Amino acid sequence: MKKLFLFLAILVLTSCASRTSSRTDPHSYYSSRYTRRSRYSYKKGTIPYIIKKGDTLWEIAKEHGVSTKEIMRVNKVSSPERLKVGQKIYIPVQYKIPAGLSFFWPLQGNILNFFGENVNNVTNKGINIRTKSNASVKASEEGRVVFANYLKGWGDTLMLKHAHNYYTIYANLSQVSVAEGAEVKRGEAIGKVSSNNALHFEIRKNHLPQDPLKLLK
């Protein structure tokens, strides 16, 4: 069962996470300052989502762990049939970290792509951070390495499991310095960024993606 879950989690990562965009975003911000300067609109307590071909409201709700009624209420939609491809909707979420659990930035850099942003027709399930060449990536929180391997299109990728069934994912690495099964401490070096100097970082509660900017300190 454990191996099956990890397989499914990685499958979701490879199919839904977006590659870093090559654009230069004048509204990006330095991660250590945590000053919102994004040009992407957010509603308090929600994340943005772009409707894709084949999407159904039921599937979107299931993926994000909310009800279809809540999505319809937040977006003032009277019927699921009114949703159109390319339309931006807002999905209600709650970000409450259990006591004793906290997430810190895996490195410092500029945000290239935000959570929920549509990049190359794919909804980003994390954030993409541009940083200096060969920068060291650190564990966002203490946990256990449950996946450390190469993924096509993402380079070396790490997944750490934390307390309360939270997971962090670090993709597009050129070097991994920890092995599967290893216990790591918060702030411990776990790898280095790939040659294109961009890290894809995700936080998930079980299999559900969370907006890292809502949880990072």
- pLDDT confidence of residue 65: 76
Cross-strand partners of 166? 205
Give 7's contacts (C-beta < 8 A, 6+ positions apart).
Answer: none
Distances from the Cα of 1 to the Cα of 6, 7, 8, 12, angstroms: 9, 10, 11, 17
pTM of this prediction?
A: 0.71
For the ranges 43-52, 164-173, 199-208, the lowest mean pLDDT is seen at 43-52
Q: How far apart are CA 173 and CA 135, in angstroms?
A: 10
Q: Give all domains of the chain, ordered by start, each with its CATH number.
A: 2-38+97-215 (2.70.70.10), 46-92 (3.10.350.10)
For the ranges 35-39, 44-48, 149-153, 168-172, the lowest mean pLDDT is seen at 35-39
Looking at residues 34-49, what average pLDDT do you find?
54
Q: How far apart are CA 14 and CA 168, in angstroms?
A: 15
Is 26 a residue whose pLDDT tops 50? Answer: no
Residue owning tokens 């390495």: 145
Q: Are 178 and 92 in contact (CB under 8 A)?
A: no
Q: Are 11 and 118 in contact (CB under 8 A)?
A: no
Which carries the bigger pLDDT value, residue 189 or residue 197?
A: 189
Looking at residues 185-190, what average pLDDT do you find?
97
Q: How far apart are CA 45 and CA 199, in angstroms?
A: 26
- What are the φ/ψ torsions at residue 15 (nearest 5 degrees)? -90, -25
Which carries the bigger pLDDT value, residue 127 or residue 154?
A: 127
Average pLDDT taken over every residue of the chain? 80
